[in-house]
Amino acid sequence: MKLSIGIFQAPTKGRTFRTRVGLLWLAAWVGVMSLPGGDISPGIASEKKAEAGTAKASWLGPIIKMSPLVVNLNEPSGRHYLKTTIILELGRMEWVEEVQQQIPWLTDMVILTLGDKKLADMQNPQTKEEIRKEILAKAQKTPVGGMIKQIYFDEFLFQ
């Protein structure tokens, strides 16, 4: 049976389906490694950096994982964006419901904060930590701010 679409075509000139899939994986790996930082698992690396950056015990309090956000960066071309997922660590389990009620406000605050950033800012290695501190400081000014102990990035991708 011959297929006629993309990599699934019948073998031609010595290239088999397995070879083509292998080449696709190689191209994807090279593409990921050429990104700034060259980290295959940016979410895990971000969490490890977050934990290493705090002098507190490794015990985490209750957490709330916010929905993924895609934000246009402040660029004249409008072609650059940031995709991130933020995790809020709370001080007590009893505060989860109250903080969840404020998620729409917190999401808006995060979008406005990240929307002011430029692509050049994102390429600086210390930017993630600075953004984390800025978002945490703004969150602390809300009625539920005292309940938010720390902010972590589960994913942080920009283009």
The pLDDT, as a whole number, for residue 33 is: 57
* pTM of structure: 0.61
Contact criterion met (CB below 8 Å) for 65 and 87: yes
* Site of tokens 């050429």: 34
In this prediction, residue 30 carries a pLDDT of: 57
113, β-bridge pairs: none
Give the residue among 82, 69, 68, 156 at the shortest CA–CA distance from 119: 82
Report the pLDDT value the prediction gives residue 131, as an integer from 0 to 100. Answer: 92
Cα–Cα distance, 135 to 57 (Å, whole number): 22
Low-confidence ranges of the chain (pLDDT < 50): 1-9, 11, 38-57
For residue 88, the model assigns a pLDDT of 93
Inter-residue contact 10 to 2 (CB < 8 Å): yes
Give the pLDDT confidence of 47-67 residue by residue, as tens digits. 444 444 444 445 788 999 999
**Residue type at 140 in one-letter notation:** Q
